[in-house]
Structure 1
């Protein structure tokens, strides 16, 4: 393989390989090689696992208040073929990927470019270990973990409020059941949340869980951290990010 090509690729991914054969294999589609084992498929398999582990680890460390379901949503959003293809396009991997004569780099499907990104992760991991693989993922994924977390906030206001409480007040919210009505099979609950010595407006819900979510949203709105739009959508304001950095 041409040395200039190798140097150019290493410059793009900001990593210098000790074993450049791994780099060549990572960017070799099965249509471009005689033997399937020389393609990037095995490295893609490994890279997918490394990517998943690192994203899970980052999510676990950055969001200690998140429950398993919330962390799973973030992982699913970030470790997806669509996102991998987006990153591959940003790195222009499709332009440098080795493909067969019947394929053209400017019409490659996202499944091919996304696989190439994962294969590069696998190659870096084999060549240099977990730390450089982690650095590559962090630098290329950018704010996608934070974006996925922000999206999950829209669905779990209790988690947002707990995070705010820990950052701003040094304590966690307390949910108080004020009233309940209806038969056992169809009870409704009135719940309010207390935080930092302040009791926020109560909300009714068809279950304790939903009432707590609505009460948490009400508190976030009073704190001007959440804003409810006319169409019913909720936006978490930047104040949350600012409290995270304190």
Structure 2
């Protein structure tokens, strides 16, 4: 990461941009777009000079490219199936994971307050991935942006569709809780409804003293997975995908 208050401590700008472009696998014609994409609001003189507007554009481009790819990859999937798959693939945790794997934290332009922490927040890593998509789109067009997106997103699509990541929310939440707080998540049964042969269960996940939005499921196992997904989305500032209203959609209730 680059501390804007200590420019002499960092490699020359041209070297940094060259290294970043090598990681991205894309060469910019306009390096000012790359610089803007890497500039967090804390490292900008004005928020309009940060990557926030690019993040907005990149998020829309990412969603469109992934939706188109899912549509063609899974012709037998219904709308709901495609929506659930997309929600995992383009989630902020996935974007942050890709940024981390690319080592983009080393190229971020941050203000002093952000550089005092040894770890770049996952939300910032998610934002820079989306802003870089916008920068590539503005520099090289939709085809260049789509190529960059699919290079990194197709493995996520395949692993999510095969159940390697999409159905393992409890494991993801446990890793987060142990890494960030040194604790193990707990799950509380809030409510149960229905006859004995087809009950539904409402469960909430909790990390430390923080309880997350609950979710319904046809079994306690399914409820815990859904509750864990709600928790992960809440942590990353995303809406909870499972609400109490889903009870009406479950069979037998």
| TM-score greater than 0.5 by the shorter chain | yes
State the shift of 1:142 in Å: 4.4
Q: Does residue 149 of structure 2 align to residue 128 of structure 1?
A: no
Q: 1:140 aligns with which of 152, 161, 167?
A: 152
Equivalent residue pairs, number: 158
TM-score (norm 1): 0.60
2:175 matched residue in structure 1: none
Q: Deviations over 1:110-137 (max 9, x none)?
A: 1111100100001001111111111111
Aligned ranges 1:79-118 → 2 under 5 Å: 79-104=90-115, 106-118=118-130
Instruction: Give me the whole-angstrom Cα distance separating, in 1, the residues matched to 2:121 and 2:154.
Output: 23
Q: Deviations over 1:35-59 (max 9, x none)?
A: 1111000000000000000110000
Q: Does residue 59 of structure 2 align to residue 55 of structure 1?
A: no
1:5 matched residue in structure 2: 16
Instruction: Give me the whole-angstrom Cα distance separating, in 2, the residues matched to 1:96 and 1:142.
Output: 24
TM-score (norm 2): 0.59
State the shift of 1:23 in Å: 0.3
Equivalent position SS for 1:103:
helix
Question: Is the Cα–Cα contact under 8 Å of residues 95 and 106 in structure 1 kept in the other structure?
Answer: no
Q: Deviations over 1:71-103 (max 9, x none)?
A: 001110111110000000001111110100111
RMSD, aligned CA = 2.3
State the shift of 1:151 in Å: 2.7
Instruction: Give me the whole-angstrom Cα distance separating, in 1, the residues matched to 2:99 and 2:37.
Output: 13
State the shift of 1:106 in Å: 3.5
Question: Is the Cα–Cα contact under 8 Å of residues 25 and 38 in structure 1 kept in the other structure?
Answer: yes
Question: Is the Cα–Cα contact under 8 Å of residues 28 and 39 in structure 1 kept in the other structure?
Answer: yes
Question: Tell me, which stretches of 5 or more residues in structure 2 are unaligned?
Answer: 1-11, 168-196, 199-220, 223-253
State the shift of 1:141 in Å: 2.5
**Structure with greater Cα Rg:** 1
Question: Is the Cα–Cα contact under 8 Å of residues 27 and 98 in structure 1 kept in the other structure?
Answer: yes
Q: Does residue 78 of structure 2 align to residue 67 of structure 1?
A: yes
Instruction: Give me the whole-angstrom Cα distance separating, in 2, the residues matched to 1:6 and 1:93.
Output: 11
Q: Does residue 162 of structure 2 align to residue 150 of structure 1?
A: yes
